[in-house]
Structure formats: C-alpha cells, structure tokens
Amino acid sequence: MKKREKPNRWLIFSSLAFQIALIMWSAIRLGQYLDEKFLSTENQFVLLLCSVGLVAILWMIYKQSKRFWNEEK
C-alpha cells in the first residue's frame, strides 16, 4: 500500500485567491443589481452583501486552514 502523501502547502491555498475574487465579485454585482432594482441611492445592498461576502471569505479561510493544520499533525 502507498503511503498517503501530504499535499503541497501551495496547492491547498492556490485557488484561494480565485475563490475570494469570485465571492466578492458576486456580492458586489448582486448588491448593485438590488440597489438598481429597489432604487437605493446609498448602496445599502452593496455594503450589506460585501459584509456577508467578507464573513463568508473569513469562514472559508478558517475552514481550509483548520483542515490544513489537522492534516499536518
């Protein structure tokens, strides 16, 4: 049987930048759409969805980091 090889650190986090960009882009575009639809002049939906996106990004980073450090032990 083969030993399970540890994944390279760079491979684990290589797609993280793309995931962050996609989440923030989606949140901003959806917020802009909702602001236009509901005629919001203060960009309330953009700010709200960017905040939600930021929390989602932090949670995603936390989960990937936790999985990474648990595999190293």
pLDDT of residue 15: 85
DSSP H helices, 1-73, are 9-13, 16-37, 44-72
Measured at the CA of 65, the angle between CA 21 and CA 61, to 5 degrees, comes to 25
Q: What is the pLDDT along the chain (73 residues), one digit of tens a residue?
A: 566 666 666 776 788 889 999 999 999 999 999 999 999 989 999 999 999 999 999 999 998 888 777 766 5
Residue spans per domain, the chain: 43-67
Residue 66: phi and psi, rounded to 5, are: -65, -45
What is the model's pLDDT at position 13?
Answer: 76
**Does the reported pTM lie above 0.75?**
yes
**How far is the C-alpha of 65 from the C-alpha of 36, rounded, in Å?**
37
